[in-house]
Structure 1
Amino acid sequence: MKVLVLGFTKISYMPYMHFYIEQLKKNNCEIHLLYWKRDSNPDTNSPEGVVTHEFNRYQEDSVPIIKKIGSFLGYRKYAIQILKKHRFDLIVVLHSTPGVLLYDVLTKKYNKKYILDYRDFTYENHTIYKKIIHKLVNNSSTTFVSSDAYRKYLPLVENLYTSHNILINALDSREIRKSKGRGVDPIKIRFWGFIRHKNINLTIIEKLSNDKRFELHYHGREQKTGQFLRKYCEEKNFKNIFFHGEYKPDNRYDFIGNTDLIHNLFDNDKTMKPAMSNKYYDGVAFYIPQICHEGSFMGDQVVENKIGIALNPDSPDFADEIYRYYRTLDWSNFETCCDYTLNRIITEYNDGVYKIKEIIKGKKAN
């Protein structure tokens, strides 16, 4: 059975693809991966045993969609060439945007022969885009959502599962933070991922800068926003704010083991309010409390599960609230809550695993 995993960015920026690739490997599928090399920075190696197809075109992420149209159309053309060259039995669409770009091909030629992974709410305010998403969901073999908050925006269908962004093999390193001391100042707050959302990060930086109780560290891609924030901190001579640049996925264990609190705050707008980030799962997996935005779905989750704190960065007491939370945390209870939350995540993760196995079995039977 031949399967195409349809990615929309570099390999290192798609850790969620491993959920699907691992299941496809277990079921002896021939796996092809289409990915988009968007810049000249080093990328992670392709998963072993996977045939890769590289769409190579520079594209800055933090620009308006009008400036991406040319690249999007180029991606569509390249993807169609791959689809024509090979006869795929199943397609895994790793983002709603490539699904929209190829929706006519998917819904006509691959009706009920693709899995849709829905993890973005950027363009749903456009009526046509929303209608296409609904059609993609209705015509898929199954749809996975990266956040349960997205469910209310999608059609009510039976084959809708939650795709938790947890890397199962990361659990082998689960003790890397738990075994180290928790009570030493400064408290190391750390962000990792694509550095964006300028205004909220400026607010956080201003609230924590030159406060001897804290260090604030940023790891990840720096385009316009990241570069601006780095330069701003250098010009202001902030001694406790650090930018470490881009990293490869395996390198994150080095700094995760030296993290006290996860900076998991984003703009609390319509796009980000329902989202769940990869760092949420890192916090649960590695026993690291996290700070999320008050009023966001993720903020509600960390409070409900007692694995972090939800705050408003605009609060005048923001820094004091962080310090008070961390210094009064009951670590035994916190770790128990992480275990309980992880067990529930793994149960839903396994439901998805079973569903993929069921789809593959059905395709092979036909």
Structure 2
Amino acid sequence: MAKKICLLSTSNLKHMTLSALYTDYMDKHNIDYDIIYIDKYQIDESHNASNAYKYELNIKKEWSFIRKWIHYWGFKRFATKILIENNYDFIIVWNEFTAFMFADVLKRNFAGKYCLNIRDYHHFNLFFVFNRLKKAIEPSAFTTVASDAFIPFLPKKDYLMIHSLNNRFLRELSPHTNLKPKDKPIKILYLGYMNFPQHAIKLIDELANDNRYILHFIGAGTEMIGEYIKDKKIQNVVQRGRFDPSETPNILKDVDIIYALYDVGNKFVDTAISIKLYYAIYLNIPIIVFKNTYMEKISHRLGIGFIIEKDNYYNVGNELYEWYHSLDIRTISKSRSEFLKSIKISHDMLEEKMNIHIK
């Protein structure tokens, strides 16, 4: 008898592109599955699930934190009813907030019959958060992390580090075999939700109307950048708002450097491995990151990281230009090949777990 599988998430499907590691596996093996998720945008999203249970969430920015929290928590009542009625054989719990929300339900009703996916560091230092996550993590069949830098801050467990490379999205792209010639502008791209526009503004100020560069900022939250470059009459910066994830390969195909300046000094960003690192690795191109972050450590080891010290952008235009044109694409390619091997090993380890618990 076929197992009943469910993917449970507090995110819209478009923010779960890496769930393809699980859904592609199930599609490949003709395994039916359901999805229970929050819809924050009131949109229809494509999927291959047998059943999709959507909880529409319409939260206003001006609401208080408590009011927002109550509306979010309504998803727990909605989803718990479905989980219990359908009595799933295995549940894929997507992200740490979902694990936090459903910790008691999972431990009480599905111990050993679910896996957790920890995407980000979120207040693991708070006693209440740590202990509630511990309640979810300990009885899980297995728990994966998107960065091994999270592990020291989590409850003790034999975690699987799963690299966030989505082959389905990126296989349409080819790795670069050459750097941009000196007679053409270097294209720097930020792609995704913009959480820290203040750092982008500082880089824009330093590179404004420098014909050696063209900067693209694409994604929700970049609107203030659009207003800024219009007011300052900056001609070498392009801004665009929301995009559909399916556009990702087309947007990435002719980029020269990935922009990944988030922040420094809090564990949320200091420990994270951004998906943008995987864009750079896959495309065989450099990435701009902040000093004193885990992204610095990895990108430096791979020889693709241009490191900026927070709030120190002096002469960055000249330094970045000279550094970029000093790179050896063959050296980068060698590092890329080694890292891709480690990515494949992590994905193979996940597949072994799915063979046991899902197939």
> Is the structural similarity TM-score above 0.5?
yes
Alpha-carbon distance in 1 for matches of 2:223, 2:127? 34
> In the alignment, which residue of structure 1 is the partner of 2:247?
251
Q: Which runs of 4 or more aligned residues in structure 1 lie more than 6 Å from their structure 2 counterparts after TM superposition?
A: 60-64
Q: Which amino acid aligns with 1:199?
A: Q
SS of 1:358's partner is helix
Alpha-carbon distance in 2 for matches of 1:169, 1:112? 29
Deviation at 1:248, TM superposition (A): 1.6
Unaligned runs of 5+ in 2: none
Deviation at 1:263, TM superposition (A): 0.4
The TM-score normalised by the length of structure 2 is 0.91
> In the alignment, which residue of structure 1 is the partner of 2:323?
325
Alpha-carbon distance in 2 for matches of 1:81, 1:194? 32
Aligned residues of 1:23 and 1:357 also touching (Cα < 8 A): no
Structure-2 change in CA distance of 1:44 and 1:137 (3 Å): same
Deviation per CA, 1:156-187: give whole Å up to 9, x if none: 323x1012111123453241x52576214321
Alpha-carbon distance in 2 for matches of 1:103, 1:50? 25
SS of 1:333's partner is helix
Q: 1:309 aligns with which of 285, 306, 311?
A: 306
Q: Which amino acid aligns with 2:213?
A: F
> In the alignment, which residue of structure 1 is the partner of 2:355?
357
> In the alignment, which residue of structure 2 is the partner of 1:266?
262
Deviation at 1:146, TM superposition (A): 0.3
Count of residues in correspondence between the two structures: 354
Task: Tell me whether 1:123 sits opposite 2:120 in the alignment.
Answer: no
Alpha-carbon distance in 2 for matches of 1:296, 1:138? 29
Q: Which amino acid aligns with 1:243?
A: Q
Deviation at 1:197, TM superposition (A): 1.2
Aligned residues of 1:215 and 1:241 also touching (Cα < 8 A): yes
Q: Which amino acid aligns with 1:331?
A: I
Q: Which amino acid aligns with 2:27?
A: K
Q: Which amino acid aligns with 1:360?
A: I
Q: Percent identity?
A: 23
Structure-2 change in CA distance of 1:5 and 1:127 (3 Å): same
SS of 2:342's partner is helix
The TM-score normalised by the length of structure 1 is 0.90
Aligned residues of 1:118 and 1:144 also touching (Cα < 8 A): yes
Deviation per CA, 1:297-335: give whole Å up to 9, x if none: 011101012233222242213222221221111111112
Aligned residues of 1:39 and 1:59 also touching (Cα < 8 A): no
> In the alignment, which residue of structure 2 is the partner of 1:228?
224
SS of 1:202's partner is helix
Aligned residues of 1:203 and 1:313 also touching (Cα < 8 A): no
Unaligned runs of 5+ in 1: 362-366
Deviation per CA, 1:28-50: give whole Å up to 9, x if none: 4321112222125x56412x244
Deviation at 1:24, TM superposition (A): 2.8
Q: 1:22 aligns with which of 17, 21, 24?
A: 24
Aligned residues of 2:34 and 2:49 also touching (Cα < 8 A): no
Deviation at 1:60, TM superposition (A): 6.8
> In the alignment, which residue of structure 2 is the partner of 1:37?
39
Deviation at 1:96, TM superposition (A): 0.8
Structure-2 change in CA distance of 1:62 and 1:31 (3 Å): farther
Q: Which amino acid aligns with 1:141?
A: A
Alpha-carbon distance in 2 for matches of 1:60, 1:283? 36
